[in-house]
Amino acid sequence: MSGADRRATIRELLQTHPLTVAELAQRYGVSESTIRRDLSQLSASGEIVRTYGGAVSSTAGEEQSLHERELLARREKEAIARVAETHISGSGLVLLDAGTTVGALATRLAVRGHLAVATPGLTSVEALAGVPGIELIVLGGTVRPLSLGMVGPLAEAAVARLTAQAVFLGADGVVAGRGLCEARPEQVALKQLMISRSRAVYVLADSGKLGREESYWWAAFETPWTLITDDGASEQQLEPFRADPLCTVEVAKTAG
């Protein structure tokens, strides 16, 4: 079987259920490194989404639950969170978006302490509530069950009264020159407001989200921003972001 044929059948298999690298290597009688290269190619084209130790199908138009997202790219998200933490100083207010990658950053900040944080994300609230030294501001609103993030006019009214040192955003996808995409307009409305109220803007997106544009609603960048992604991103994925005059790219090295 050629590499192209193998990748085509892998893509079809993943549409039925997730698979690990080890399972695929055994199935096709090839090395795990060969399967990882196959998955990297399929991920770069947006046909699949990498997970910790394997992959799942990338189904256009379907929004994944928070639990499903927690299973995706765990090591990559932890690496991105480590780099993101270096951009937080000891003073000022930090805005944390909802989502699992930003939630990984919140977990690191819980150990660090001595910080003011505002967030609409219940994942971050759970990580930071009651932590000594953390001044936690919960941006209330309507809870979205899929992401456990709060949106709507109440959250927007709270953000409108804040000025943040930095905002750390997640997204369904990020496209150079276009911005961030999400499933619902109220999500991007809140993100756009968070961007406008922050002195520095950081987007935390694993390599599987680069170039993805399946979701319908967009938040745009009109001022400088920083993309923090993982070292699974190919040069083909990164080149459009590096060519964007507003974007600075930082690549986090994944441990192991």
What is the domain partition of the chain in residue ranges?
A: 3-59, 69-252
Class in CATH terms, 3-59: mainly alpha
pLDDT given for residue 151 in this prediction: 93
- The whole-model pTM stands at 0.74
pLDDT given for residue 166 in this prediction: 97
Q: Which residue has the higher pLDDT, 108 or 61?
A: 108
pLDDT band at 60 (very low <50, low <70, confident <90, very high): very low
For residue 150, which amino acid is it?
A: M
pLDDT given for residue 59 in this prediction: 54
d(CA 203, CA 184): 18
Q: What angle do CA 50, 51, 56 make, to 5 degrees?
A: 70
| pLDDT value at 155 more than 70 | yes
| pLDDT value at 227 more than 80 | yes
Strands 179-182 and 217-219: antiparallel
Is the domain spanning 69-252 CATH 3.40.50.1360? The answer is: yes
Mean pLDDT value across the chain: 88
